[in-house]
Amino acid sequence: MGFRAWPLWFKKHPDLSFWLLFALLNCLLFLPGVLTSEEGSGFWSAVTSAPAQRWYILGVWRPTADVGRLHLEWLLLTAFFVAAPFLRRTAPRLLLFLGYLFALVYALYEAVLRSLYQMEPVFYSQYRMLTEGVAFVFESLTIPLHYYLLVFGGGGLLLAGLYAAIRLLTSQSVAGSISRFSQALLALLVVFGLGQAVRFQHYLAQPEMVVSSLFFKVQANVAASEKVYQTVRSFDDAYVRRAYDYQGQKLVTKPNVYLLFVESYGSVLYKRPDYLGQYTALADELEATLTANGWRAASALSEAPTWGGGSWMSYTSALFGLDIDSDPEYEMLMDRYQVDDFPDLGGFLKDQGYRFYGLSSIALELPDAKWDRYLRFYGADRWLRYRDLGYVGPKYGWGPAPADQYALNRARAEVRQETDLPYLFFTITQNSHYPWAPLPVIADDWQTLNVAADDPLPIDAEGILHETRRQNYFDAVEYDLRVLVDFILNEEDPNALFVLVGDHQPPRVSRKDDGWETPVHIISRDAALVESLTAYGFEAGLDVATPTSSLHHAGIHSLLARLLLDSYGEHRLALPPFLPKGIPFLGTVVAQIQEGEKTP
């Protein structure tokens, strides 16, 4: 059948054409959720279920994504065009097309958030991530021009195809010519959809509902955005300052403190059998290496405030001792503490005579004015950037960035050359960032990595088998853990304290069921200090066999302050409380302190 014959075929078969086009456009609204889901469809499992459960799965709620669902607004608007001939004109069709396009874009937005970050759609929390974040991604990636042409060309064809399908569906020859049987069937679907809306109402915003409503989704988004807005506006740091008031506390011995976040280092490594075998073998090997060189380790799992991305919320929560789980909270703090100092971990150590250093090795640097805002916000004495590393070698992956082995060691060499004072050194690794390939080699001498060479070709992480992507993730984590252990072994300060923390679960290779926890390792030559961590729910070694800690990332601030004061303080005053969950962004500190006083 030729292209020109298709319109004639649709006109000759209005009922079949109507249901085919309606179902196709309806299913398309659920396709983003299916394409971004790593789980299989639960639709066909209903067939073998018990009758009562079968009808519930088919008609009300299915936990996994599939296209066999009903979009309420699309159903109602289509029914209007069937029932009202005066709507079958250009202007109403254009409005229907724009409304459909909005629903499709919202479905994409919702699917990406839920699959990559396990976030509910809250636009107020995500607008900066969606604007500045997307811009940064495009600046970071080297994409050939013909890819842009293909995307724009394909997008244009998709829009044209959607409009043509909607125009044909709502035409007189299709919508105006369907049989009474089809009209009755459409009316029954409308009754079913409205009945679900009356019975379940706001639940229709949930992706598991068989009948989905854009109205309730947007309503839930607006309500959640308003809640976050009010939370941010009502922030008062008085209770945070009371919680982290360390006046009168003094360290006698001042070890160098390294707070090293490991990108995408998540507890998914404990949750999957194939990962677990590889990971425990790696942890045992690295622990044996540390032990043979006089180092001791204790480990726990800590709940991150974010999932799959948003590293800045995780490490800022740890530094500030404040549970920061949305971007507006982070942005408000960034704006507010440009002059005033926040009572964070860095400030506590600086009051003890420490220097505070940070490292960001990403080659694509922020403008100086924006970078100065970050420096003032975190209160670091100096923040090393890519330009300070003197690096001419190949850059890898996200950012892109130098080999972490080079960046870490070069930064430490800079710090040692600059100061004889004890210091807090903070950074987050880059080579374990998605897409996890290609990876640098680990050199016997890190300085040999700084040899001019072309950047390695990036791997298309979405164009490979899922099993390959999963192995790439493990390889990247293994690389950074080996680099960090080597980094520890070359530390000169005999009392140095290393804190290794995963920032969040990895995107694309973990699921919501894997939880929000990430490994935390505290490593020192001080055996007594490491042994004392068992009272906080830590286990000896690098492996967490039976996690018992209730630690959250925001609790790392009070944990480290208490740990240092307990091991190296004057002991003139009672130790400050351990707040395993940190301080909530809203609320009083009383309950947190009471909970902390029950802990060691």
Give the domains, in start order, of the chain with CATH numbers.
5-229 (no CATH), 252-340+364-554+580-597 (3.40.720)
Taking each helix axis as running N to C, give the angle between helix 90-112 and helix 72-83, from 0 to 180 degrees, rounded to the nearest 10: 170
The dihedral sign for the CA sequence 496, 497, 503, 505: positive
- Cα of 356 vs its chain's centroid, Å: 27
Percentage of the chain modeled with pLDDT above 90: 75
Distance CA 425, CA 496 (A): 11
Tell me the C-alpha to C-alpha distance, in Å, between residue 451 and each of 92, 403, 479, 584: 63, 11, 20, 47
Indicate the pLDDT class of residue 41, thresholds 50, 70 and 90.
low
Residue 528, SS3? helix
Q: Is the pLDDT of residue 297 over 80?
A: yes
Which amino acid is it at 162? Answer: L
> At residue 545, does pLDDT exceed 90?
no
* Residue, of 268 and 61, whose pLDDT is higher: 268
Helix, strand or coil for residue 206?
Answer: coil
Q: For residue 49, what pLDDT band results from cuts at 50, 70 and 90?
A: low
Residue 151 confidence (pLDDT) above 90: no
Residue 56 confidence class, pLDDT cut points 50, 70, 90: confident
Which candidate, 317, 283, 314, 299, places its Cα nearest to that of 549? 299
Return the HEC string of 480-494: HHHHHHHHHHCCCCC
Where residue 590 falls among pLDDT bands split at 50, 70, 90? very low
- CA distances 37 to 122, 349, 469, Å, are 20, 44, 15
Q: How far apart are CA 456 and CA 245, in angstroms?
A: 49
Q: What are the tens digits of pLDDT across the range 375-393? A: 999 999 999 999 999 999 9
Give the type of residue at 448.
Answer: T
Q: For position 597, what pLDDT does the model report? A: 38
Report the side by side order of strands in the sheet with 296-303.
382-384, 355-359, 423-428, 257-262, 497-502, 517-524, 296-303, 539-540
pLDDT band at 3 (very low <50, low <70, confident <90, very high): very low
- Which range of 127-131, 426-430, 592-596 scores highest in mean pLDDT? It is 426-430
- Confidence category of residue 399, pLDDT binned at 50, 70, 90: confident
pLDDT for res 201: 93
Q: Pairing relation of β-strands 423-428 and 355-359?
A: parallel
Tell me the CB-side half-sphere exposure of residue 432, using CA atoms within 13 A: 29
| CB-neighbour burial class of residue 156 (10 A; exposed 0-12, middle 13-18, buried 19+) | exposed
Question: Average pLDDT for residues 332-357, to the nearest whole number?
Answer: 96
Residues 6+ positions from 151 with CB-CB distance below 8 Å: none
Q: What residue type is 497 in one-letter code?
A: L
Could you list the beta-strand ranges (E) of 493-548.
497-502, 517-524, 539-540
Grade residue 223 by pLDDT with cuts at 50, 70 and 90: very high
Residue range 309-334, pLDDT digits in tens: 899 999 999 999 999 999 999 999 99
Helices (H) and strands (E) in the chain, counts: 23, 10
Higher pLDDT, 61 or 3: 61
DSSP secondary structure of 149-200: HHHHHHHHHHHHHHHHHHHHHTSTTTTTT--HHHHHHHHHHHHHHHHHHHHH
pLDDT confidence band for 557 (50 / 70 / 90): very high
Q: Where are the beta strands (DSSP E) in 434-481?
A: none
| pLDDT over 50 at 598, yes or no | no
